[in-house]
A and B are shown apart, each in its own frame.
Chain A
Amino acid sequence: MTVESLRAVTVPEATAHAASNHARNPGMKLSPEMFEGHAVNRSAAERRAASLGARRSVKKQWQAAWLLNAIRCIDLTTLAGDDTAERVRRLCAKARRPLAAHIMDGLGISGMTLTTGAVCVYPTMVPHAVKALRGTDIPVASVATGFPAGLMPLKLRLEEIRYAVAEGAAEIDIVITREHVLNGNWSALYDEVSAMREACGEAHLKAILATGDLQTLRNVYSASMIAMQAGADFIKTSTGKEGVNATIPVSLVMVRALRDYLDATGHSVGFKPAGGMRSAKDALNWQFLMKEELGRDWLEPTLFRLGASSMLGDIERQLEHNVTGRYAASSRHALA
């Protein structure tokens, strides 16, 4: 399809925003029989992961559509020690207008309300983000509970959640206590996440499992299941600060846990890979994973987020190439 024909495309009403009226996961009692003894074979998971990206391919306007969808699902993130109110404001500006106008025009979607899925920041940055996003549907997500290690007294961690919610965070990305998983202390983990869920109130809880610390895929499956049983609305791979962050094999295990939980309870839980994903190709591969393992519903920001910061820049370059046929330079796109 040529650029001209893309331009000629009629644009219906906005398709894309992230506001969630998805039914929440109420959780259930701790049920170890749903994960104890559940086998996860690493080499098989790695084989499936390796072939996923090779089994599916999107080109031309399909590629553009899939990349645009990825933007809808990005939790545009800044979690750095040098974050400032101004830095957060700039990030929010990018979240509101993730693509340069000439690219939107070129793709024939200038009428579309395209934003990222959320903006993700530290608790003290929440008020700045809320302010910068006023007038949009973009939720502010805040990490909490002593991010990234989570080794603060529970009381303080719960207090941190309440603080972030009070400042206007609609989503709380909590970190679990890895020790509970490594020691097989399932009830401690369940109780902790349940308490955090309660502290979230109306805000959605996204449970970061820090899979790089959990190491084994069986641990990842168990932790996923416990987080969901305790009422997590999303399960998320990583803080971005572990040695190994989001990988496809780990994600595969988590989405299969999601599917098993759905089969057992009827409740859909969201998935958020985070950390280490930088390229447009990553954005496609993770979406292929979601579609192949879970189906179309899991390509909506209500059930799928990509925790990333630099990925958006690469997507923008790819989309510009899609429009112009020329390889793009990031200097021509607005910084996040």
Chain B
Amino acid sequence: MDTITDIMQTMSYGPAPEDSGVVRDWLKKHEAGFGHFIDGAFTAPGETFDVMNPATEEVIAKVSQGTAADVDAAVKAARSAQKDWAALPGHERAKYLYALARHIQQHARFLAVLETIDNGKPIRESRDIDVPLVVRHFYHHAGWAEILADEFPGARAHGVCGQVIPWNFPLLMLAWKVAPALAAGNTVVLKPAEYTPLTALALAEIVREIGLPKGVFNIVTGDGETGAAITGHPGIDKVAFTGSTEVGRLIRRQTAGTGKGLTLELGGKSPFIVFADADLDAAVEGVVDSIWFNQGQVCCAGSRILVAEAAAKRFEELLRRRMQTLVIGDPLEKSTDVGAIVHPVQLERIRSLVEQGRAEGVTIHQGEAPAGCFYPPTLATEVEPASILSSEEIFGPVVTLTSFRTPEDGVALANNTRYGLAASIWSENINLAIDVAAKVKAGVVWINCANLFDAGAGFGGYRESGFGREGGREGMGAYLAHPAPKAKRPEEKPGTLSATPVAEMAASAIDRTAKLYVGGKQARPDSGYSYGVSGAKGAVGLAGLGNRKDVRNAVEAAHKAGGWGAQTGHNRAQVLYYLAENLSARAAEFEDRLKSFGQGGDAAKAEVATAIRRIFWYAAQADKFDGAVHQTKSAHVTLAMHEPLGVLGIACPTALPLLGFVSLVLPAIAMGNRVVAVPSQTHPLAATDLYQVLDTSDVPGGVVNIVTGERDVLARTLAEHDDVDAVWYFGTAAGGRMVEEASSGNLKQTWTEDGAARDWTSSEGQGRSFLSRATQVKNIWVPYGE
């Protein structure tokens, strides 16, 4: 019996259930089923599906399966509301977002309890973490709405945003998507996950409560098919998706060539690196906050513990002890640490992966979990990088433990993944911690902490964890568009290349052979073929016909030149100024080359002069386009560092063969990227002439690689290449679509535009927007205090 005297023997905690009466009443009121929220009102329920409480496996609501017609209606409502919403002064939008923040705060416990019932997460988390972060996000973005015109001059809203969010943080992910979208003047059609649609529907009621204009915020519930109807809808201007990498890839293909803005926040397999000099107890607690937070169903969860061999034994011992005190069970119980898995389907996935790991010979340590949709906290030891538990995102309370020898070894293991969302680094040595933070491929790095979030910091991944940021200035930028230049006459596909001898070629003093430029060396094309480059009057020379292998070699060479990104901005600037100096010295030669293609004398002079000026401009930016320190939590510096993307493929426009090349390659290398550039297909010789200038200017080999040939063939190889981090394509609409589709393999970032859209000779041809495209933001959290 649980008498006081009994309890004084055991000192057990006993039940402390959160009262769910108010939420139960609300669910009862909606017993007939929920409709969608479109144009400021709930529709009558359509065909419904069941929503269940995973902890009890009882059906708690019926929710409508959104059809194509529902999505149409929602997009239409959003479209008609958008103009007026965007036209409101920022202050007016700010007032709505402020009201939303306040009302969410006033309904805080209602939302927390509903979230816990719907998702299975412990009430402590929904109450102390999820809902407060939601409130913070709306407050923060009320602020952005207020100051938008001042802080982002010239920017405008995308229009209608289609947003598809996951089930792990249903309301928080909604806030991350909706708050910046509305602040920027977009309207929204959002689909919550089919497992967890209820807090979104509750929020719709709150939206109605504050009197948000009709059509600004719309919800269509349903499964993946409904999601696809939203992301594929022609009336959507920007797609934002958080979820699995697999679905992200589908969306990337689906939206290719449509001109829709796209941000993807996808999976992860984030490293949790513990050095021997770390506070091991703190790191153990960090593991709890990483993988035993939200049942491990966290995209940025530190799911791979890498621990220095010198500390491995003690660390494992402490971690295994700590596992024993975790309380697993009823999520509404205030003393619960680990709640229910969101759905039996997910539970089965976790089980199956762990069993596969066990079959591989991995040692599994786990405690007990109640019957039903629960899974015990699990530690897998003696895990090799090849194990399925090391490589696959499990999305459950399962963490692997692997040891490393040296910091270099640790970093190598950390980066041995397709993903790059987050990393957690534990060391009391600031030099070591920041060094590793800089080397790890991840959009968010937590030093001596884990899973900290704030609306003021950017969140988002590298590699196959997606692109785009949410939160902070960088996140706000993702919901704003800049007027895109439009071509009067779109670029046409260049004529077919002929790799046979040309009819006749103008005589030159001594014959010059333009080769490819790979790794700082001139290289003959692997194909052994050349193609004729025509000028005003017949052929003016031959260019190498590059192929897949040349691209492969160029990408390899580019990777070897990784030191370029680690140099100081000042050093890069010096090299670039020198490049301008040397180009200037040979200006006449380049003018002649351009004239040979049929350009007029003035135009040729102007193109070369602009190219030199542009190189100066990017040299100047090399040490100035820097990051920020975000205002997040007290006693934390949150550094938003601009990092190069890595290896960029660049396909240059046909016209302005020198300036087009310089305008795209220079911002990329100024920021520390290495490029594989495909110059103007029709007039590549202006670019190949440049390799001698690159050589004489101390540009390290491999930083700029030039492969001439058929643009779309080479661009496809670059877009498909898993070791290329981004592709910029300036050419035809069909080519742009091809590049976007082909990029879905490793989900590299792409920038595609009509090659004729921009006036490269004007200010359109350069600017900070090029530098933003050339960088990604890494947010590093550094708590302090002794």
Contact = CB atoms under 8 A, between A and B. Distances in A.
Given A42-B786, A58-B13, A109 B4 contact: yes
B5 A55 contact: no
Nearest to B783: A43
Contacts of B1: 9
B278 interface: yes
B285 interface: yes
B448 A41 contact: yes
Interface residues of A, number: 47
A39 B428 contact: yes
Interface stretch (A60-68, A198-206, A230-238): A60-68
Contact of A44 (B3, B282, B636): B282
Contact of B4 (A37, A51, A55, A65): A65
A141 to B, nearest CB: 23
B279 A12 contact: no
B762 interface: no
A69 B286 CA distance: 31
Contacts of A55: 124, 335, 337
B784 A57 contact: no
Contacts of A287: 11
A21 interface: no
Interface in B1-54: 1-5, 7-16
A12 B4 CA distance: 10
Given A10-B3, A11-B5, A48 B128 contact: no
A213 to B, nearest CB: 15
A292 to B, nearest CB: 6
A277 interface: no
Interface string B764-786: 00000000000000000001111
A57 B337 contact: no
Contacts of A299: 11
Contact of B2 (A16, A61, A69): A61
B246 interface: no
Interface in A287-332: 287, 291-292, 296, 299
B285 A47 contact: yes
Interface in A33-50: 37, 39-48
A69 B8 contact: yes
Contacts of A68: 4, 8
Interface residues of B, number: 40
A49 to B, nearest CB: 10
A107 interface: yes
Contacts of B548: none
A56 B4 contact: no
The listed residue with most A CB atoms (<10 A of its CB), out of B12, B13, B278, B337, is B13
A9 B281 contact: no
A217 B335 CA distance: 28
A15 B6 CA distance: 10
A244 interface: no
Interface of B is mostly: loop
A108 B4 contact: yes
B4 A61 contact: yes
Interface string A1-44: 10000100111100110000000000000000000010111111
Nearest to A217: B786
A54 interface: yes
Given A55-B124, A291-B11, A296-B11, A43 B4 contact: no
A265 interface: no
B3 A108 contact: yes
Contact of B449 (A9, A47, A108): A47
Contacts of B337: 55
B635 interface: yes
A101 interface: no
A112 B5 contact: yes
B380 to A, nearest CB: 24
Nearest to B280: A39
B744 to A, nearest CB: 39
Contacts of B325: 292
B161 to A, nearest CB: 35
A256 B14 CA distance: 26
Contacts of A45: 279, 282
A84 interface: no
A216 interface: yes
Contacts of B8: 15-16, 65, 68-69
B18 to A, nearest CB: 9
A255 to B, nearest CB: 10
Interface string B425-442: 000100000000000000
A284 to B, nearest CB: 10
B95 interface: no
B468 to A, nearest CB: 29
Given A39-B279, A68-B4, A58 B14 contact: yes
A44 B286 contact: yes
B311 to A, nearest CB: 10
Nearest to A69: B8
A134 interface: no
B282 A59 contact: no
Contacts of A46: 785
B786 A216 contact: yes
A119 B271 CA distance: 51
Contacts of B4: 6, 9, 61, 64-65, 68, 107-109
Contacts of A256: 281
Interface string A251-266: 0000010000000000
B448 A43 contact: yes
B76 interface: no
B335 A56 contact: yes
Given A41-B428, A56-B335, A65-B5, 14 more contacts: A15-B9, A37-B277, A39-B279, A39-B282, A41-B278, A41-B448, A43-B783, A45-B282, A61-B3, A61-B4, A61-B7, A61-B14, A62-B12, A68-B4
Which 9 interchain pairs have the tightest Cβ spacing? A62-B14, A44-B282, A65-B7, A43-B783, A57-B334, A57-B16, A41-B279, A9-B3, A39-B279
Interface of B: 1-5, 7-16, 124, 128, 277-283, 285-286, 289, 325, 334-335, 337, 428, 448-449, 635-636, 783-786
